[in-house]
Chain A
Amino acid sequence: MTMRNRTSELFLGVASGLLLGLMTAGSAIADDPEEAEVGVEADVEDAIVIGGSIPMTGVFAFAGLQFNDGFRDFVQWINEEHGGVQGRKFRYVGQDTGYDPDQSVGVFRRITSREDVHFYFGDSTAFSQTINSALNRQDILMTGASFASELNNPEEYPLQFLLGPDYSEQVGVLLEYIANEDPGARVAFVYSDTEFGRDPINASVERAEDLGLTVAETIVTPPGAADISSAALEHRRARPDYTIFHGYILSPIPDFIERSRQMGMETRFMGTYYTMDQGIIDEMGDAADGFMGVMPYRYYYDEEADDYPIMRTIREMNDEYRATTYIQAWLVGMLLKEIVNATLEAGDELTGTNMRRALDSLEDIDTGGVIGVPVTFRGNSIPVGRIYRADVEAGRMVPVSDWIDLTEE
């Protein structure tokens, strides 16, 4: 046997041993879910199971890892401090999807075939759309990371809800603010050519016109584009007073802002939820100063955070800054706590339909300060948000408006 053959055989031996071993161990675990030790409180019977397709790797991992921590901490808090809801404890089972919708569906199937899942968290719009019929069939209530306007439709998505304003409503909050501060201002939309980016644009152009604003330009950039020079020139020609970015996390916003500043433009830049985390200050530095955007939740360091029980708990459990996506997971927990409570009080089983009915019956839900006002669902969303501004000197986002509720018109 030659050296090469021996190495080859060794590799094959190790590879097949690894896979076979995992398969055996895995099937043993699958037979005995008690052993699966997923999430905390694995031994609790009758637990309320939160399943999750969580993007712990891939492009959305920055949020997925925060969701994962948030769910873990919420479950620990509610079980230890409150003994669950009406004596029923919670259990969280989340697995990695790599932010790939096919894998997200696989994880959903994997978790739901091993556990009696009561509530689910999805990681993308594509997943929310794909899994919708399975949710209806298996009668499971779900929310997720997506704020797609498409999902804000209780008839088509009866067992799903959003964790704040949908993307059109987020831009709506921004436009409302602009219309109040600077009536008749010129607004430009810069968005990525993705499902995420295109989502609010048509509705927002109409809304801007309704509010008496002038839409100076809508500029689309290719997905993942590094070179935005032509978009920047288009932007310069439009000379907007306000520029709203949507469909990005960070790149190419810093480059865009820098070019606009170099060209001497005096436009105020704004963003939507996923752009508005601390990253924009930490990574852009001085260029981020004055960047504004809509945020449906309080930041970790909010000045009033300690006045509200859940924000206080979050701060007690975490010495250092936690991202807004971590707080978003806590909001899921708080809403679920109320939903479960209302369902059990009505004497109903925790099925998706019953839990949805309970959600619809709830008014002025107290989120423990995560959202600054008591919330009531409208359709599938909570159309409330607040405008924050990046204060680079202070190194944080500071609120510049009160909580804006789009239903109060």
Chain B
Amino acid sequence: MAKITSNILVDVSGGKDVYNALAKAVSAAGLGKSVQVAAVDGFGVKAEGAVVKVLPSGGYYTGVAPEDADRIVQAAASGEGGSPVPAYTTNVRVALKNVGYIDPASIDDYIATRGYEALGGCLTNNTPQDVIAAVKASGLRGRGGAGFPTGLKWEFAGKSAGDKKYVICNADEGDPGAFMDRSVLEGDPHAVLEAMAICGYAIGADEGVIYCRAEYPLAVARLENAINQAEALGLLGDNILGTGFSFKISINLGAGAFVCGEETALINSIEGQRGEPRLKPPFPAAAGLWMKPSNVNNVETYACVRHIFLNGPEWFAGIGTEKSKGTKVFALAGKINNVGLIEVPMGTTLREIIYDIGGGIRGGKQFKAIQTGGPSGGCIPASLLDLPIDYESLASVGSMMGSGGLIVMDEDDCMVNIARYYLDFTVEESCGKCTPCRIGNMRLLEMLEEITSGKGKPEYINELRELGEVIKDASLCGLGQTAPNPVLSTMHYFMDEYEAHIRDHKCPAGACSALLKYVIDPEKCTGCTLCARNCPVDCIAGERRKTHVIDQERCIKCGTCMAKCRFGAISRV
């Protein structure tokens, strides 16, 4: 049977001239049975003019004119053609290197990508001190959000005296809209296991615990499978690779408390105690799980470790900015065209992430803010879009790196309502141990609820700010210390929206339903009855060919009537 042997992919987003010329050239040369011309929608490469990609080689032609068609078709038919072109996005893969590439259920796939070679190398050729020195030299910082230098953390745990130590993996990913760690665990579980074993060797631990939220059943299943495979090959368990080093890993399921992502609350939870944070010091490196020296890192941090040893600490330190090395994985969500999981070098700007990688704002709407760091972070406005992403710069604008959730908001999002949403989350998730967090956040939420329903008082502005600062100062753990950030940052950048709600009882974005109503313009209404027929609560009255009226008492402000009206007679005021 005849089989197509070459495919010419043409970017037709800029017009079909080249596509048509190529199709014509193929049929003129009588190559229709072996060469295919296919239209695609852009390659995302740095190139001018019309771009064509040839398969199977994957080479590109750029700046193609219709008269180039014959030449390209002949080259493609002979199995060659084109040259490499750099991709437009500069994203590099470290933590996600294997995710979406290997079969996560196959240890052979992992080993084929130099899996466990870093562990084997450390055990065979390096002292624990060498290993710690390499991690320090790489500049790797905690990817869970706070950004503490990983090598330093390992060094503290290594220097703590003790006959028994633990390596803990924090896989209790809980920020709304975040799924970086889940993707790593589900796509490349061995990378985490290998790094935990390396850490165990470095600090002198023989046992590791992965604290994974129970809402990630597939991640847990793939981890269990991976642990069994690694033990069967002697890559975990006793006497790993004949070196005398032993390391076992078990999985502990979290029951869905956000605060258990805080390392001391997590340790309490593993011990079977209430998931409440402990006073620090002592830090886990001195007295952690079962009061033994413990090292806690997040999934993504561990996922970076093996590449530091495979490529050298200098290589890792060569990526990113002066103080934030390497890459960061982000879960890009919200009002953006290309929702997805991305990994970019530290120092990439928000603008590059939103427009180059994310494809811009959905529906061509106006960008308003980007939320980073989840409930601990803040909202960053359009004026700061050229901010390079690293730990320090995000903190300097009142937000934080966080674990990597990026939620894009457009003109239809009310910033007061967004702050209310996050406060609602932290109030729900506060463990209740510290009064400022337990009561203070509740008070913040109550004020925000009043503001978004038009009952806010002018003095709330100062009260929100003062109370927010007190909660930050007086809470024990990261949850309370950062919970007011969404309020404080939106007040800093979007005070006009707070004022509009309080002073004018208006929601400029039209998101707070208590502050808006739908009205019918008698001039434009034709009495077609379409709105009345579609109203889910039957609150629109009016005879055929006569002006209709919305009963404001019964209206639930769903906006269906406005969307259905063909005459633009209904508006939101």
Pair from one complex: no
Q: What is B's interface to A at a CB cutoff of 8 Å?
A: none
